[in-house]
């Protein structure tokens, strides 16, 4: 059939018209309907393109993770469209049963038509199951690829970006947000074509039954669209607020779980309960607010649909009375209206879920768009200048200000540590000790001055090369679920058992590991919960030594050790072959008094540098620390 008004209606949208020949409708009566349909479709395309470019374009990078599932992403909606096509024929068959079979008391005709209904149901079910399989495969595969990409990207971020974003929000985006994106994509692939297709297809099929009665569809569908899209526009930004408040609740939960001992020590259980309840109340209030708005969708759509059905019954009764319509046609029209109701309810749920998914996808994309603040070269630096051949670490007027901080943490720090030396770092709480040593492995970049290791700026080393030369034992001992062996192999995955035992001997951990029933294969729970504080610290020191670094940083990592074990550890480190440079950050003056150099920090300034005896004579801050600890019996001569 040739059309004069326009060309461009999709083949799928034209499928219902193929029934016209068999249903007795005249093309000339519906020629104008093609014009209206094509205009609507074109306008929808313009509207969709505008909102796609305005809202979805920033998420284009995320869609690249769907590349491996293009076939599934296309087949899922196509099978749903095929299912919808068969559904649209059902009311016509029902009308024939009433108009022909029941009216003529033709039982054979009724059975034939019931067989057709059964066949349509079986084919529709097969199409639906196939579509569900493809959509589930595409959505799960997509979320898996996106989760891997997000985790890999987080691993590239420096400590500065991690501090800025926050751990709790990263966990939320990795779990809750990605689950919402997966659910939204699953529904989108199954319903984003089927529901509009059924809505407009049912309206068009209604015109094949009775043009005058079908005009009710023309009024009802725009009203329903206003309700559905209006709710979507209002709720989408509110879902972003919900996720932000969820971040806050998760952050408080994590803070209380990790700091449970501190909370109990200061009897602050009720205070923390109140903080959590306040944050949870804000989250609950916002979720209820969004839920109330979303809940308006179903009753409003049901009211409009039922009013339309009442209007159909009224018009149908009049048409039947004058002989312009058969009873079965009224049943077909009501069925089409019910189909529209079901599909609009699905579309409403789809829009709510997609609104959540888009809000969550925007949050995930915000992390993916966060550029790493540090760039590492690929080539190893060249020859070391002759005057720096013996240098291990050199700080030249170094300053450090954390992102968002109001004041610098380190100011004008200058010193040189030679190969094989032991450098002590001491100072009061918050004086900048950890900040200073974190610049050596380039966890942070100095905001002023320069940091050099082995004669080259740290920025000139590739990541693997730099982290291979410098091993850090953090202030908080952190072990991973597995075995003692698997934790030690983090230092060097190719290390032999002899290497592992040598590192354990130096770290004063061999004795208690040998006492374990399984030795190196003894299980370690997550975080090392089945080990004491001192055991965890010694294992983390051994892990660092397995890598055979050239610079070893112990950031207050022997605080849980007794004096005898601490002294034995320092003696074993000094006896290691080669020219290992050791930085020891400690609150104990006794742990540092045999160091080659001691750096004394006070409020981010280097107020003293020298040996133990020199500092006692020249540095009041060091003398004050030393005297206070000896008077309290916290140091050994």
pLDDT digits (tens, 9 = 90+) for 439-456: 999 999 999 999 999 989
In the block, tokens 């909102």 appear at 51
Q: Are 473 and 555 in contact (CB under 8 A)?
A: yes
Interior CA angle at 195 toward 127 and 128, to 5°? Answer: 15
Q: How confident is the model over 31-39, as a mean pLDDT?
A: 39
b/e sequence 614-629, b meaning 16+ C-beta within 10 Å = ebbeebebbbebbeeb
The pLDDT-based confidence of 17 (bands split at 50, 70, 90) is: very low
pTM score: 0.69
pLDDT at 14 over 70: no
Distance (Å, rounded) from C-alpha 198 to C-alpha 342?
A: 10
Comparing 476 with 523, the larger pLDDT belongs to 523
* CA nearest neighbour of 83 among 469, 264, 342, 285: 342
| pLDDT tens digit sequence for 518-535 | 989 999 998 888 888 888
Q: How confident is the model over 293-313, as a mean pLDDT?
A: 83
Most confident residue range from 2-16, 95-109, 114-128: 114-128
The pLDDT-based confidence of 28 (bands split at 50, 70, 90) is: very low
Comparing 32 with 268, the larger pLDDT belongs to 268
User: How many angstroms separate the Cα of 362 from the Cα of each of 147, 245, 546?
Assistant: 14, 16, 42
Comparing 10 with 534, the larger pLDDT belongs to 534
Q: Please give the DSSP secondary-structure letter assigned to residue 521.
A: G
pLDDT at 298 over 80: no
Averaged pLDDT score across all residues of the chain: 82
Pairing of strands 422-427, 448-453: unpaired
Comparing 251 with 615, the larger pLDDT belongs to 615
The pLDDT-based confidence of 631 (bands split at 50, 70, 90) is: low
Give the pLDDT of residue 19: 36
User: How many angstroms separate the Cα of 123 from the Cα of each of 116, 199, 520?
Assistant: 11, 20, 60
| pLDDT tens digit sequence for 160-211 | 888 888 887 888 888 888 998 998 898 888 888 888 888 888 888 888 877 8
pLDDT at 26 over 50: no
Q: Are 360 and 368 in contact (CB under 8 A)?
A: no
Of 81-90, 120-129, 459-468, the one with minimum mean pLDDT is 81-90
Please report, rounded to a whole number, the percentage of residues in the chain having pLDDT higher than 90: 26
């Amino acid at each position: 059939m040739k059309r004069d008004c326009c060309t461009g209606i999709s083949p799928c949208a034209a499928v219902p018209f193929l029934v016209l020949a068999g249903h007795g409708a005249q093309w000339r009566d519906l020629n104008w309907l093609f014009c209206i349909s094509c205009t609507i479709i074109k306008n929808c395309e313009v509207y969709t393109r505008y909102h796609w470019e305005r809202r979805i374009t920033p998420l284009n990078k995320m869609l690249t993770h769907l590349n491996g599932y293009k076939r599934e992403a296309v087949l899922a909606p196509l099978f749903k469209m095929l299912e919808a096509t068969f559904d649209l024929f059902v009311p016509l068959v029902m009308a024939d049963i009433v108009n022909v079979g029941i009216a003529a008391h033709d039982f054979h005709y009724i059975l034939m038509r019931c067989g057709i209904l059964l066949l349509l149901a079986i084919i529709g079910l097969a199409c639906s199951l196939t579509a569900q399989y493809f959509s589930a495969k595409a959505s799960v595969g997509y979320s898996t690829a996106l989760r891997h990409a997000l985790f890999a990207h987080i691993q590239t971020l420096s400590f500065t970006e991690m501090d800025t974003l926050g751990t709790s929000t990263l966990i939320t985006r990795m779990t809750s947000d990605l689950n919402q994106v997966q659910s939204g994509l699953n529904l989108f692939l199954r319903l984003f074509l089927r529901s509009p297709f059924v809505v407009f297809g049912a309206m068009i099929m209604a015109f094949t039954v009775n043009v005058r009665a079908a005009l009710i569809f023309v009024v009802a569908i725009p009203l329903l669209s206003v309700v559905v899209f209006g709710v979507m526009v209002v709720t989408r930004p509110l879902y972003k607020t919900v996720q932000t408040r969820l971040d806050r609740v998760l952050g408080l939960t994590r803070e209380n779980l990790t700091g449970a001992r501190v909370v109990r020590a200061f009897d602050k259980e009720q205070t923390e309960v109140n903080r959590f309840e306040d944050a949870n109340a804000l989250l609950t209030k916002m979720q209820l607010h969004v839920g109330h708005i979303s809940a308006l969708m179903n009753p409003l759509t049901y009211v409009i649909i039922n009013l339309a059905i009442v209007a159909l019954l009224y018009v149908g009764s009049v048409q039947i009375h004058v002989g312009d319509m058969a009873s079965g046609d009224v049943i077909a029209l009501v069925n089409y209206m019910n189909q529209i109701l079901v599909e609009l309810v699905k579309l409403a749920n789809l829009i709510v879920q997609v609104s959540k998914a888009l809000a969550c996808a925007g949050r995930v994309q915000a992390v993916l768009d966060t550029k790493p603040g540090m760039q590492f070269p690929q080539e190893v630096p060249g020859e070391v200048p002759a005057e720096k051949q013996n240098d291990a670490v050199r700080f030249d007027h170094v300053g450090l200000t954390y992102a968002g901080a109001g004041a610098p943490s380190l100011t004008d720090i200058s010193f040189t540590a030679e190969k094989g030396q032991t450098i002590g770092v001491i100072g009061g709480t918050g004086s900048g000790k950890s900040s200073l040593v974190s610049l050596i492995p380039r966890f942070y970049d100095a905001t002023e001055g320069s940091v050099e290791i082995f004669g080259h700026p740290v920025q000139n080393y590739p990541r693997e090369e730099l982290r291979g030369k410098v091993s850090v034992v953090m202030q908080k001992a952190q072990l991973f679920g597995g075995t003692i062996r698997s934790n030690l192999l983090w230092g060097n995955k190719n290390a032999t058992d002899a290497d592992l035992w040598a590192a354990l001997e130096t770290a004063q951990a061999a004795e208690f590991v040998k006492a374990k029933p399984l030795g190196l294969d003894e299980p370690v729970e997550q975080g090392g919960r089945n080990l004491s504080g001192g055991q965890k610290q010694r294992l983390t020191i051994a892990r660092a030594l397995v890598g055979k670094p050239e610079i070893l940083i112990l950031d207050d990592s022997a605080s849980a050790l007794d004096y005898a074990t601490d002294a034995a550890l320092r003696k074993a480190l000094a006896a290691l072959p080669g020219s290992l440079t050791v930085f020891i950050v400690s609150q104990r003056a006794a742990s540092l008094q045999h160091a080659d150099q001691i750096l004394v920090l006070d409020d981010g300034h280097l107020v003293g540098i020298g040996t133990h005896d020199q500092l006692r004579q020249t540095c009041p801050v060091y003398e004050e620390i030393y005297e206070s600890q000896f008077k309290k019996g916290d140091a050994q001569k």
